[in-house]
Amino acid sequence: MKLARAIHFDESDSRVFHSPARTGEWCISGGFEFSNWSEGDMTGKTKQAFSNGWMGCETFGRVSFVAVTQVQPFEHEALIKCLARHFVEISGAPSLDAARGVAADELAQMAELCEDAAPNTLLTVARELTASGVRESFRMIEPQEAGLDQFAIHGSLDDEPHQH
């Protein structure tokens, strides 16, 4: 299964979001956070989070870009638990059991979005408030378009030092 992690190319997210997501944390759309919003709620950094911020699953901060990668089953399970706890503590879900299904659904939606994307594909989200609620659209930027080789850290998994 694939999900996406927060990626930063510069420090701009720390200036445009109240609380930026941590580089490398797993992210979901997080559009549910805006379900009761109106135009009056959208100003400054709050508007930026609404307009194009992914939600980190650990800090619950926002990030502009995420990169697709494999998620391990134990990580996926930990994410469900973390999101369920967030839904109880912040969103008022009645119990962890009740919140678990919603958390799993949020991650399933993100996995579906990432499913056919190549590793390191960048994703952006754009939201708008319509008469029928929040509408999200997503854009994929292929790895070769994004020039990720400029940012990737290449290393060796060998225990022995390389001979020159």
For residue range 79-135, what is the model confidence (pLDDT) as tens digits? 999 999 999 998 889 999 999 999 999 999 999 999 999 999 999 999 998 888 889
Q: What is the count of structural domains for the chain?
A: 1
Helix (H, G, I), strand (E, B) or coil at 160: coil
Q: Higher model confidence: residue 138 or residue 130?
A: 138
How far is Cα 21 from Cα 1, in angstroms, rounded to an integer? 22
**Residues 6 or more apart from 58 whose CB is under 8 A from it?**
22, 25, 26, 82
pLDDT for the residue 85: 95
User: What value does the mean pLDDT take over residues 48-69?
Assistant: 95
Is 89 domain-assigned?
yes
The answer to whether 3 touches 72, Cβ cutoff 8 Å, is: no
Sheet holding 62-63, edge to edge: 62-63, 54-56, 26-28, 2-7, 65-70, 122-130, 133-141
Is 162 domain-assigned?
no
Is 157 domain-assigned?
no
pLDDT band of residue 37 (cuts 50, 70, 90) is low
Is 156 domain-assigned?
no
Is 21 domain-assigned?
yes
- How confident is the prediction for the chain on average, in pLDDT? 86
pLDDT band of residue 73 (cuts 50, 70, 90) is very high
pLDDT band of residue 21 (cuts 50, 70, 90) is very high
Domain extent for 67 = 2-150
User: What value does the mean pLDDT take over residues 26-41?
Assistant: 82
Is 94 domain-assigned?
yes
The answer to whether 2 touches 117, Cβ cutoff 8 Å, is: yes
Is 28 domain-assigned?
yes
Its pTM stands at 0.82
Is 155 domain-assigned?
no
pLDDT for the residue 159: 39
